[in-house]
C-alpha cells in the first residue's frame, strides 16, 4: 500500500456466503480513518466464503477468502484452534503507521554490479546557462529591485532595459527611425520593380538586386524594433531559472554585444568524476552511475533520459586521473562546484537478493531489518549485506525473496519492540474489600505494577499501559 494512508471516504460490504446463500452488511463510512466496523452474525456453523468489498471515490477493491470455518460456539473454536500464544513478534498497529511516514517494500531478486565508490563535482551543462548580451548601446536600467545572484526568474520576465535617449550618437530611437525610412523606401522600390518584372519590362537580375536590398532593410528594421518598449531595449529571461551572475551595474553605459547577465537552470547538469587509470574504465564496461541527491537519496543518471557522455582517454603528469562525464537531466538542487558521492557500476551483473538501502538499521557495524510478518505484526531480523548499487543493497543472509521489509518508519517499529520489555510507570489501582469497625464495608486502594504490551497509538514512542485502552499515560 503506497504511503500507507487510511481510507477516509467510502463504504465496505462484508458478505458471508454458503451454498449460494449468505448474509451481508454494509457500512457507508469508516468509524475512524481507515477503520470500518461491519458486523455479521451467521446462523449456523460450517464452511463459508468471506468477501470484503471496498468502494471509495478513487478506486474499488474486492477480497475473497475461501474455506472460512464458522464454529458453533467459542469453546469449539478454542478446542479446534487452541489459544493464541505470544510469538515474540512486534505489534505495530495500522493507527500507528498512519500517523507517521511509513512504507514497506518486497525483497526481490535483481541484477547487481561491482561498483567503484568515489565522488563527483557538479558542472553546468551546455544548455543549462545562457549569457544575455546588449543588443544595442545604452544605459542599463534594472527593472527588478532585488536583482541579485541566485534570484529565481520566470521565462519572459523583464530583468533590465537599455535606454539611449539623450545620447548624441548611437541613439536607438534615431537608429529605428532611420531603419524604418530605409525599409519603407526599399519596400516601395521592391513593389514597383516586382510589377515591372512580372510584365517582363525589367530583367530578372535587376529585380533580384532590388529584392535583396528590400530583405536586408526589412531584417535590419525588425531587429531594431524587436524587444523595444517605450524607446528602450528590453532584456528578458529566456527560460525559467535563476540569476547565475550579473556583469553590469545599474546605470552603466554599455556597448552593443557586451554581456549583461547570465541565467542558469537546475534542470540539467553534468556530473564529473575522476578516477585512477588502473580501473581500466571504458564506455563498454561502465554499466551505470549513481549519485546522491541533496537529501541524501541515491539516484540513477539515466533517470529523465540522462546518460554517460564520455570517458577520458589520456592522463597528464599534472592531473594523472581519468575523467568521467555524465549528463543528469533530473532536477539537481545543488550548487555548481559542490561535491556528491558517486557509485560507478562496471563489469557483468549477477542475480542476487536485494532490498532498498533505506530498510537497513545499523548498530555498531551490524545490520538488521524490520520484517512484516502480517498486517500489524513485525520482527527485527539480523542480516548480512553485500554490495551496494545506488538505493539497493545485496542481502547475503537473513532474508528470502518475497518477504516484506519496512523501508520508512523502521526506527519507530524498533521503538515499539523496545517498549515490550518495560514495566508501566503508573501502577494499576485495584479495590479490595475489608471489614472495619461497626461491620461497615469500605474499599481501599492497592497499587501493583503491570506489564506494557505496546506503544501508544496517539504518539509513537511513549510507554503504553495495558489497562489504559492503548492511550498515553499522563
Q: Are 172 and 233 within one domain?
A: yes
The yes-or-no verdict on residue 434 having pLDDT over 50 is no
Asked whether residue 223 falls in the same domain as residue 290, the answer is no
Whether residues 278 and 208 share a domain: the answer is no
Q: Are residues 252 and 277 in the same domain?
A: no
Q: Indicate the pTM of the whole model.
A: 0.68
Question: Does residue 333 belong to any structural domain of this protein?
Answer: yes
Range of the domain at 290: 121-125+267-348
Quote the crossing angle between the two packed helices 204-225 and 172-198, to the nearest 10°.
Answer: 150
Domain contains 114? no
Same domain, 292 and 247: no
279 and 171 belong to one structural domain: no
Q: Which of 234, 258, 282 is the last residue of a domain?
A: 258
**Model confidence over 69-113: pLDDT tens digits?**
999 998 999 999 887 677 778 999 999 999 999 999 999 999 999
Domain boundary among 258, 280, 296: 258
What CATH number does residue 142 fall under? 1.10.287.470
pLDDT at position 127 over 90:
no
Q: Specify burial of residue 375 (Cβ count, 10 A radius: 0-12, 13-18, 19+).
A: exposed
Residues 156 and 227 in one domain: yes
How many separate domains does the chain show?
3
Domain assignment of residue 374, yes or no? no
In a domain, 436, yes or no: no
Nearest residue to 94 (alpha-carbon basis) of 30, 15, 28: 30
Q: How many CA atoms lie within 13 A of 262 on its CB side?
A: 10
Lowest mean pLDDT among 8-17, 46-55, 248-257: 248-257
Judge whether 453 lies within some domain. no
Assess if residue 305 is contained within a domain.
Answer: yes
Residues 247 and 289 in one domain: no
pLDDT at 426: 43
Say yes or no to pLDDT of 424 above 90: no
129-171 per-position pLDDT tens digit: 899 999 888 889 998 888 899 899 999 999 999 887 766 556 6
Instruction: Single out the residue in 313, 348, 383 at which a domain terminates.
Output: 348
Whichever domain contains 36, its CATH number is 2.60.40
So what's the pLDDT on residue 469? 43
| Pick from 112-116, 175-179, 443-447: least confident | 443-447
Residues near 448 by beta carbon (within 8 Å), at least 6 away in sequence: 427, 428, 430
- In this prediction, residues 339-360 reach a mean pLDDT of 95
230, 152: one domain: yes
Does residue 423 lie within any of the structural domains? Answer: no
Task: Decide if 334 is inside a domain.
Answer: yes
Considering only residues 440 and 384, tell me which one the structure prediction assigns the higher pLDDT: 384
Residues 216 and 287 reside in one and the same domain: no
CA dist 200 → 186, 206, 207, 215 (Å): 20, 11, 11, 22
Q: Is the pLDDT higher at 165 or at 361?
A: 361
463 has a pLDDT exceeding 60:
no
What confidence score (pLDDT) does residue 167 get? 63
In this prediction, residue 420 carries a pLDDT of 52
Does residue 143 sit in the same domain as residue 231? yes
Same domain (yes/no): 28, 135: no
Amino acid at each position: 500500500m503506497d504511503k500507507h494512508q487510511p481510507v477516509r471516504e467510502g463504504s465496505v460490504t462484508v458478505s458471508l456466503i454458503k451454498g449460494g446463500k449468505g448474509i451481508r452488511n454494509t457500512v457507508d463510512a469508516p468509524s475512524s480513518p481507515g477503520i470500518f466496523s461491519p458486523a455479521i452474525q451467521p446462523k449456523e456453523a460450517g464452511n463459508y466464503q468471506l468477501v470484503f468489498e471496498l468502494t471509495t471515490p478513487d478506486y474499488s477493491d474486492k477480497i475473497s477468502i475461501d474455506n472460512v470455518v464458522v464454529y458453533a460456539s467459542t469453546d469449539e473454536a478454542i478446542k479446534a484452534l487452541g489459544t493464541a500464544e505470544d510469538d515474540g513478534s512486534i505489534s505495530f498497529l495500522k493507527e500507528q503507521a498512519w500517523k507517521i511516514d511509513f512504507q514497506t517494500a518486497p525483497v526481490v531478486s535483481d541484477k547487481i554490479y561491482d561498483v567503484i565508490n568515489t565522488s563527483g563535482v557538479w558542472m553546468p551543462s551546455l544548455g543549462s546557462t545562457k549569457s544575455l548580451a546588449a543588443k544595442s548601446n545604452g544605459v542599463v536600467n534594472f527593472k527588478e529591485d532585488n536583482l541579485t545572484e541566485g534570484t529565481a526568474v520566470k521565462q519572459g520576465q523583464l530583468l533590465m532595459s537599455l535606454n539611449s535617449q539623450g545620447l548624441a550618437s548611437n541613439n536607438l530611437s534615431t537608429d529605428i527611425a532611420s531603419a524604418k525610412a530605409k525599409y519603407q523606401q526599399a519596400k516601395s522600390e521592391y513593389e514597383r520593380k516586382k510589377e515591372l518584372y512580372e510584365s517582363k519590362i525589367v530583367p530578372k537580375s535587376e529585380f533580384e538586386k532590388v529584392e535583396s536590398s528590400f530583405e536586408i532593410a526589412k531584417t535590419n528594421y525588425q531587429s531594431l524594433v524587436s524587444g523595444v518598449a517605450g524607446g528602450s531595449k528590453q532584456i528578458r529571461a529566456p527560460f525559467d531559472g535563476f540569476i547565475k551572475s550579473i556583469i553590469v551595474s545599474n546605470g552603466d553605459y554599455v556597448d552593443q554585444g557586451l554581456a549583461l547577465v547570465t541565467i542558469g537552470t537546475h534542470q540539467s547538469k553534468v556530473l564529473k568524476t575522476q578516477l585512477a587509470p588502473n580501473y581500466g574504465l571504458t564506455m563498454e564496461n561502465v554499466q551505470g552511475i549513481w549519485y546522491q541527491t541533496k537529501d541524501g537519496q541515491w539516484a540513477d543518471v539515466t533517470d529523465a533520459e540522462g546518460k554517460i557522455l564520455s570517458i577520458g582517454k589520456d592522463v597528464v603528469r599534472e592531473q594523472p586521473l581519468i575523467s568521467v562525464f555524465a549528463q543528469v537531466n533530473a532536477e539537481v538542487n545543488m550548487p555548481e562546484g559542490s561535491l556528491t558521492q558517486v557509485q560507478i557500476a562496471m563489469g557483468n551483473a549477477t542475480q542476487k537478493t536485494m532490498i532498498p538501502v533505506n530498510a537497513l538499521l545499523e548498530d555498531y557495524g551490524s545490520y538488521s531489518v524490520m520484517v512484516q510478518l502480517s498486517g500489524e505484526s513485525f520482527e527485527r531480523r539480523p542480516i548480512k549485506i553485500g554490495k551496494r548499487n545506488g538505493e539497493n543493497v545485496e542481502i547475503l543472509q537473513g532474508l528470502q525473496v518475497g518477504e516484506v521489509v519496512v523501508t520508512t518508519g523502521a526506527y519507530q517499529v524498533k521503538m515499539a519492540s523496545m517498549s515490550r520489555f518495560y514495566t508501566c510507570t503508573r501502577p494499576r489501582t485495584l479495590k479490595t474489600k475489608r471489614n472495619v469497625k461497626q461491620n461497615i464495608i469500605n474499599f481501599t486502594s492497592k497499587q501493583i505494577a503491570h506489564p506494557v504490551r505496546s506503544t501508544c497509538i496517539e504518539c509513537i514512542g511513549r510507554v503504553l499501559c495495558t489497562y489504559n485502552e492503548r492511550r498515553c499515560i499522563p
